[in-house]
C-alpha cells in the first residue's frame, strides 16, 4: 500500500537502522521520512549520515532537520545557541575526518525544517502554524533554508525583537515548547533541579478552563499547579490540522519487545517516532498508509531493538 514510513531519531544507531529498513522493505509506492537527529550520542554517526544522504539523493527518502543538526550547523558557523548546552560530538569530525565533516554540514543546511505533505505533517518537535509563518520568509517552497542568514538571525549573536522571535520559533519547532508557571510555582525534575517552566502538550486544544496540570509534559511524578492558564499567551496552539509525526521526545515503549500504536500516540492525530534507540530503547518507524485519494488509510508502528553498545 502506498504511504510513508517515518523513522525516529537515529542518533548514530546504524546497525539498528539497517535492520529496521530490512524489516520495512523497499517499495516504489512508499517513501521513507527521517525526522532528524541522525547524529550525536551513538556509535556510527558517519554511516548514518552517509546512508540517509544516499537515500535522499536516490529519491527514496526525505529527511528534515533535527535540533542536533541545527546545533552542529551553528557550531560550525561559530554561532552560539540561544541556550548554551552540552558538547556536540559530531563536531569532533572536524579533527578526525575533516572532508566528511564540512561536506556533511553543508548537506545538513539543505534539510527542510518541516514537511507539509497533503495528508501528513512532519516536524522534529513541535507543529505550530503561527511559528511556521514567522520562519517562512527564510525558507524556499520546500521549507529548506534559503541562505545562512537564518542561522545567524536565530542564534544568540542576533538581537532585537524580530530576531528574538525567529530564535524562539526555531527553538520551539526543533526542540519543543515551554510554558512559564505562575509566580511562585515550580516543580522538581528527575535530576532534582527546581524548574519554573514546563514542557507542555502543544497538540492539545486549550480553552479558558485548561489548567497547567492538564497540559504539563515530561514532568514525571511531580505535582503541577491546578491553576488555570487564564489568558492564553505565547505560542500555545490549537489541535493540528492534519496527521502529524514528530521525533525528539525519548519515549519508552511499555513492552521492551515492541512499540505499540498506543505507545506512539500523543493524540489521535499526533504520533511520536522516537523510542530512545540510543538509550537501549527501540528504533521505530511510524507507518502511514494512504488511500488512492491520498487520505490516511491507517497508521501502524514497526520497530527493532537497540543493540547494546
Binding residues for Mn ion, rule: CB under 5 A, are 37, 66-67, 248
Closest CA to 93 of 151, 135, 158, 39: 39
Grid coordinates belonging to 55: 537515500
Instruction: Select 3 or 121, whichever has its Cβ closest to Mn ion.
Output: 121
Q: Can you list the positions of beta strands (E) in the chain?
A: 3-7, 30-34, 61-63, 114-117, 120-123, 178-180, 187-188, 194-195, 197-200, 216-217, 243-246, 270-272, 274-275, 282-290, 296-305
* Shortest distance in whole angstroms from residue 125 CB to Mn ion: 6
Q: What CA–CA distance (Å, rounded) separates 306 from 13? A: 8
Report the DSSP pairing between strands 120-123 and 114-117. antiparallel
Q: What CA–CA distance (Å, rounded) separates 198 from 292? A: 41
* Shortest distance in whole angstroms from residue 300 CB to Mn ion: 23
Q: What CA–CA distance (Å, rounded) separates 21 from 225? A: 44
Closest CA to 128 of 164, 174, 162, 160: 174
* Shortest distance in whole angstroms from residue 26 CB to Mn ion: 27
Instruction: Select 67 or 210, whichever has its Cβ closest to Mn ion.
Output: 67
* Shortest distance in whole angstroms from residue 37 CB to Mn ion: 4
Angstrom distances, CA of residue 175 to CA of 124, 164, 200, 214, 301: 7, 16, 12, 21, 23
* Shortest distance in whole angstroms from residue 176 CB to Mn ion: 9
Instruction: Select 66 or 112, whichever has its Cβ closest to Mn ion.
Output: 66
Residues 214 and 173: beta-carbon distance below 8 Å: no
* Shortest distance in whole angstroms from residue 174 CB to Mn ion: 7
Instruction: Select 84 or 208, whichever has its Cβ closest to Mn ion.
Output: 84
Instruction: Select 37 or 263, whichever has its Cβ closest to Mn ion.
Output: 37
Instruction: Select 9 or 263, whichever has its Cβ closest to Mn ion.
Output: 9
Amino acid at each position: 500500500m502506498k504511504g510513508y514510513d517515518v523513522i525516529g531519531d537515529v542518533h548514530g544507531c546504524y546497525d539498528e537502522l539497517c535492520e529496521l529498513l530490512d524489516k520495512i522493505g523497499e517499495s516504489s509506492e512508499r517513501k521513507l521520512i527521517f525526522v532528524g537527529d541522525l547524529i550525536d550520542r551513538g556509535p556510527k554517526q558517519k554511516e548514518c549520515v552517509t546512508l540517509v544522504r544516499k537515500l535522499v539523493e536516490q529519491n527514496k527518502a526525505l529527511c528534515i532537520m533535527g535540533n542536533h543538526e541545527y546545533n552542529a550547523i551553528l557550531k560550525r558557523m561559530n554561532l552560539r545557541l540561544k541556550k548554551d548546552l552540552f558538547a556536540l560530538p559530531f563536531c569532533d569530525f572536524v579533527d578526525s575526518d575533516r572532508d566528511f565533516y564540512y561536506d556533511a554540514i553543508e548537506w545538513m543546511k539543505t534539510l527542510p525544517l518541516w514537511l507539509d505533505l497533503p495528508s501528513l505533517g512532519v516536524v522534529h518537535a513541535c507543529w505550530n502554524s503561527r511559528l511556521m509563518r514567522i520562519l517562512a520568509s527564510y525558507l524556499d517552497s520546500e521549507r529548506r533554508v534559503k541562505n545562512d542568514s537564518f542561522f545567524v538571525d536565530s542564534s544568540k549573536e542576533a538581537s532585537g525583537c524580530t530576531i528574538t522571535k525567529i530564535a524562539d520559533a526555531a527553538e520551539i519547532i526543533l526542540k519543543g515548547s515551554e510554558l512559564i508557571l505562575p509566580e511562585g510555582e515550580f516543580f522538581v525534575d528527575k535530576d532534582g533541579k527546581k524548574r519554573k517552566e514546563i514542557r507542555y502538550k502543544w497538540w492539545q486544544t486549550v480553552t479558558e478552563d485548561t489548567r497547567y496540570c492538564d497540559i504539563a509534559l515530561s514532568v514525571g511524578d511531580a505535582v503541577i499547579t491546578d491553576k488555570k492558564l487564564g489568558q492564553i499567551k505565547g505560542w500555545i496552539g490549537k489541535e493540528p490540522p492534519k496527521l502529524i509525526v514528530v521525533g525528539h521526545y525519548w519515549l519508552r515503549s511499555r513492552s521492551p519487545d515492541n512499540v505499540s500504536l498506543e505507545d506512539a500516540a500523543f493524540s489521535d492525530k499526533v504520533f511520536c517516532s522516537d523510542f530512545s534507540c540510543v538509550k537501549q530503547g527501540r528504533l521505530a518507524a511510524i507507518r502511514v498508509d494512504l488511500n488512492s485519494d491520498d487520505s490516511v488509510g491507517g497508521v501502524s508502528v514497526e520497530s527493532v531493538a537497540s543493540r547494546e553498545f
